[in-house]
Amino acid sequence: MSQALTTAHSVVAPTPLARRIAATIVILYALVSMIPLAWILMTGFKTPPDSIAYPPKLVFQPSLEGYCNLFTTRTRQTADYIQSLGPPQTICDEITRKRDMVIAGPSNYAPRFWNSLIIAFGSTFFAVSLGVLSAYAFSRFRIPLADDLLFFILSTRMMPPIAVAIPIYLMYRKLGLSDTALGMILLYTAVNVSLAVWLLKGFIDEIPREYEEAAMIDGYTRLHAFFKVVLPQAATGIAATAIFCLIFAWNEYAFAVLLTSGEAQTAPPFIPTIIGEGGMDWPAVGAGTTLFLIPLLVFTVLLRKHLLRGITFGAVRK
Amino acid sequence: MAEIRVENLRKAFGDFIAVKDQSFTIPDGSFFCLLGPSGCGKTTTLRMIAGLELPTSGRILLGGEDVAFKRASERDIAFVFQLFALYPHMNVRRNIGFPLVCQNVPWAEIKTRVEETAKLLRIDHLLDKSVSGLAGGDRQRVALGRAIVRRPLAFLMDEPLGTLDTEFRDLMCEELRHLHDRIKATTVYVTHDQLEAMSMADHIAIMNSGRVEQLGTPQEIYDRPATMFVADFVGSPSMNLIPVGDRLAKGAKTLAVSGASIAIPEMREDAPAEEIVLGARPEHIRFDDASAYRGEVFGTEYLGTMQIVTVKVPQGRVKVKVPASLHVKSGEQVGLTFLGDRLSLFDKGSGRVIRSALHDAQASGGM
Quick check: B122 contacting A, CB < 8 Å?
Answer: no
Q: What is the number of alpha carbons within 13 Å of residue A293 lying toward its C-beta?
A: 11
CATH 2.40.50.140 intervals, chain B: 238-363
Q: Quick: pLDDT tens for A30-77.
A: 999 999 999 999 999 998 888 888 888 888 899 999 999 999 888 888
Give the helix/strand (H/E) hosting B254: strand B254-257
- Decide: B293 and B262 in contact? Cβ < 8 Å: yes
Query: What's the DSSP call for residue A8?
Result: -
Identity of the residue in B50, B88, B99 whose CB atom sits nearest the CB atom of A219: B99
Burial of A111 (0-12, 13-18, 19+ CB in 10 A): middle
* β-pairing verdict for A72-76 and B31-35: unpaired
Whether the complex's predicted ipTM surpasses the cut of 0.85? no
pLDDT at residue A273, as a whole number: 86
Q: Which of B87, B110, B156 to mutate to test the interface with A (most CBs of A within 10 A)?
A: B87
The contacts of residue A119 (CB under 8 Å, 6+ apart) are: A181, A184, A185, A188, A249, A264, A266
Q: Give pLDDT tens digits for B300-345.
A: 999 999 999 999 998 899 999 999 988 888 898 999 999 988 999 9
On whether the CB atoms of residues A105 and A69 are closer than 8 A, the answer is: no
Whether chain A has a CB inside 8 Å of the CB on B150: the answer is yes
Short-list B287, B333, B339, B335, CA closest to B308 = B287
Span B4-223 CATH architecture = 3-Layer(aba) Sandwich (3.40)
In Å, how far from its chain's centre is CA A69?
A: 24
Distances (CA, A) of B51 to A281, B147, B207: 69, 15, 20
Q: Chain B: give the shortest CA distance to residue A268, in Å.
A: 39
**CA pair distance B234, A159, nearest whole angstrom:** 61
Q: Looking at the DSSP assignment, which residues form a beta bridge with residue B212? A: B207
Instruction: Delimit the CATH 3.40.50.300 region(s) of chain B.
Output: 4-223
Interface A-B: count of C-beta contacts within 8 A: 55
* CA distances, A169 to each of A119, A156, A255 (Å): 18, 18, 9
Closest CA to B295 of B317, B277, B280, B278: B317
Is the separation of the CB atoms in A184 and A260 below 8 Å?
A: yes
Q: Give the closest of B78, B82, B103 to A217, CB-based.
A: B78
- Give A264-278 pLDDT, tens digit per residue: 999 999 998 887 766
Please provide the size of chain A in residues.
318
Q: Supply the pLDDT for residue B136.
A: 79
CA distance B33 to A213: 21
Q: Inter-chain contact A217–B102, Cβ cutoff 8 Å?
A: no
β-pair type (B254-257, B260-263): antiparallel
Q: What mean pLDDT value characterizes chain A?
A: 88
Q: Please give the Cα distance from B69 to B48 (Å, whole number).
A: 9
Distance, CA of B336 to CA of B327 (rounded, Å): 15
- Predicted confidence band at A122 (pLDDT cuts at 50, 70, 90)? very high
Instruction: Say if residues B274 and B300 touch (Cβ distance below 8 Å).
Output: no
For the segment A169-192, the average pLDDT, to the nearest whole number, is 94
| The domain over range B238-363 is classified in CATH as 3.40.50.300 | no
Q: Concatenated DSSP letters for B65-132?
A: EE-TTS-GGGS-EEEE-TT----TTSBHHHHHHHHHHHTT--HHHHHHHHHHHHHHTT-GGGTTSBGG
A4: Cβ contacts below 8 Å, ≥ 6 apart: none
Distance CA A124, CA A132 (A): 12
Tell whether B52 is within 8 A of chain A (Cβ): yes
**Lowest-pLDDT range of A98-107, A186-195, A242-251, B202-211:** A98-107
Asked if residue B237 has a cis previous peptide bond (ω within 30° of 0), the answer is yes
Which residue stretches of A156-230 are H helix?
165-175, 181-205, 210-217, 222-225
Predicted TM-score of the model (pTM): 0.78
Q: pLDDT at position A124, please?
A: 97
CA–CA–CA angle A53, A58, A64 (5° rounding):
75
Q: Are B56 and B210 in contact (CB under 8 A)?
A: no
Task: Place A311 in a pLDDT band, splitting at 50, 70 and 90.
Answer: low
The pLDDT of residue B362 = 57
A259 within 8 A of A187, measured Cβ to Cβ = yes
CA neighbours closer than 13 Å in the CB half-sphere of residue B49: 35
Pairing of strands B294-302, B306-313: antiparallel
Q: Cα separations (Å) of B158 from B22, B42, B82, B117, B140?
A: 19, 9, 5, 21, 12
| Diameter of chain A measured on Cα atoms | 93
- Does B155 lie at the interface with A, CB-CB under 8 angstroms? no
Chain A residues within 8 A of B82 when measuring between CB atoms? 210
Cα distance between residue B96 and residue B118, in whole Å? 8
Report the distance separating Cα B115 and Cα B145, nearest Å. Answer: 10
Nearest to B99 among A213, A218, A224 (CB): A218
Kindly compute the dihedral angle of the four CA atoms of residues B7, B13, B17, B18, in this order, to the nearest 10 degrees: -70
How far is B223 from B343, CA to CA, in rounded Å?
Answer: 9
Q: How many degrees, rounded to 5, is the angle at CA A99 between CA A95 and CA A102?
A: 70
For chain A, say whether B83 makes contact (Cβ under 8 Å): yes
Mutation site for B-interface testing, chosen from A209, A210, A213, A218 by largest number of B Cβ within 10 Å: A218
Among chain A residues, CA nearest to B103: A219
Give A314→chain B minimum CA distance, Å: 15
pLDDT of residue A15: 85
Superfamily the domain A110-311 falls into: MetI-like (1.10.3720.10)
SS3 B252: coil
Per-residue pLDDT of chain B (367 residues; tens, 9 = 90+): 689 999 999 999 989 999 999 999 999 999 999 999 998 999 999 999 999 999 999 999 998 899 999 988 888 899 998 888 888 888 999 999 999 998 889 999 999 999 999 988 888 899 998 888 888 788 888 998 999 898 888 999 998 888 778 878 888 888 889 889 988 889 999 999 998 899 999 999 999 999 999 999 999 999 999 999 999 999 989 999 999 876 788 888 888 888 888 888 988 888 877 788 999 999 999 998 888 899 999 999 999 999 999 999 988 999 999 999 888 888 989 999 999 889 999 998 888 999 888 887 655 443 3
DSSP assignment, residue B260? E
pLDDT at B135: 83
Residue A8 has pLDDT above 60, yes or no: no
Interface of A with B (CB under 8 A): 208, 210-211, 213-221, 224, 229, 232-233
- Using a CB-CB distance cutoff of 8 angstroms, which residues of chain B are in contact with residue A207? none
Average pLDDT over residues A281-285: 91
Sign of the four-CA dihedral B167, B168, B170, B171: positive
Q: Do B73 and A208 touch (CB under 8 A)?
A: no
**Phi, psi torsion values for B8, nearest 5 degrees:** 45, 45
Nearest CA in chain A to B155: A217
Residue of A213, A219, A232 lying closest to B52 (CB–CB)? A213
B367 three-class SS: coil
Q: B60 pairs with which residues across the strands?
A: B6
Smallest CA–CA distance from B150 into chain A, residue: A218
Phi then psi for residue B184, to 5 deg, are 50, 40
